[in-house]
A = this chain, B = another copy of it.
Amino acid sequence: MTDKDAASIELTAVIVAVTGDEPRVLTIRGGGALPTGVFESGHRSLQTGLRSWVERQTHHPLGYIEQLYTFADRDRMEGGAGGRVISISYLGLTREGRASGEHVPAWESWYRYFPWEDWRSGPSRLVARVILPRLRRWAAEATDAATRRDRARRIRATFGTSEETWNEELVLQRYELLYEAGLVPEAARSGPRAEPELLGRRMAHDHRRILATGVARLRAKIKYRPVVFELMPPSFTLLQLQRAVEALAGRRLHKQNFRRLIDQQGLVEETGEIATATGGRPAKLFRFRREVLLERAVAGTKLPLSRSA
């Protein structure tokens, strides 16, 4: 291997938990960066490298791990002197641990980084009053008409205005649009430290982009894989489960239909116990039926298969 084409490999982790109806992400440097580690030559594979490394840092087992994306854009990494940095990112799901150790990294609500992504109490006012006006100005200031049209179209497609057209999965596209429009401090163009955190707290390097990738992936995944349960305590009420999904999706769900969906799929079973401190009528406690992970490798078909081939 020639030296000039060599690169150092960095593992970046988006570790998610849900606590108190808030989706939270593990951060370091006081919330300014995602945990990263160098991929050591001793590790057998990337997954195991990440797993051992995160567990050493957090003293908490990682339930679920999935690779997110590999980034290497030169201009987005503020790359160090020597060679190039490749950053391989992972999404991990856990529950927030009882802080063991001293310099435990901090859990932060992910809406601190993407405040416009929280629509749980209706259409985001931040989007309507700040983001859309600024984006529209940015679209209008393009010199040629084609660019103006294209920008307007992208604004429409990513920040669908109404509650019906809002697509919670487009987290990355929205962040990238804000970046491109220079509305986010990571983009060099934007004014420095005016309006602190109005458009979310910044992170080092491209970590906010990686986080956006993780949020988007998780929001998509909860719809077709039973991954929420990795974030739940061993037993829980159905409302707690719903609140967790709502925290991730950033939207309110329909109670009855949510419940029907859950038990239709046979995802949970009653523990037999009752939770009393619910604020209302006591609720049955449920546990996740771990068997379903083994039984099904479910994947939604949308192809009109023919019966007899």
Residues of A within 8 A of B (CB): 1, 4-9, 38-41, 44-46, 67, 69-75, 80, 82-84, 86, 88, 119-123, 153, 157-158, 163, 167, 169-170, 173, 220, 222-224, 245, 249, 251-255, 257-258, 261, 294-297, 299-307, 309
Question: Is A297 within 8 A of B170, CB to CB?
Answer: yes
A11 to chain B, nearest CB (A): 10
| Residues in B whose Cβ lies below 8 Å from that of A120 | 309
- What CA separation (Å) do A303 and B251 show in the bound complex? 10
Question: Is A254 within 8 A of B305, CB to CB?
Answer: yes
| Residues in B whose Cβ lies below 8 Å from that of A261 | 304
- What CA separation (Å) do A73 and B43 show in the bound complex? 9
| Residues in B whose Cβ lies below 8 Å from that of A86 | 7, 9, 86, 88
Question: Is B220 within 8 A of A4, CB to CB?
Answer: no
| Residues in B whose Cβ lies below 8 Å from that of A6 | 1, 6-8, 83
Question: Is A158 within 8 A of B297, CB to CB?
Answer: yes
Number of copies: 2
| Residues in B whose Cβ lies below 8 Å from that of A9 | 5, 7, 72, 86
| Residues in B whose Cβ lies below 8 Å from that of A254 | 304-307
Question: Is A5 within 8 A of B67, CB to CB?
Answer: no
Q: List 18 A-B contacts (CB under 8 A).
A: A1-B6, A1-B7, A1-B8, A1-B80, A1-B82, A5-B38, A5-B41, A6-B6, A6-B7, A46-B72, A67-B69, A86-B88, A158-B297, A170-B299, A173-B297, A223-B301, A254-B306, A261-B304
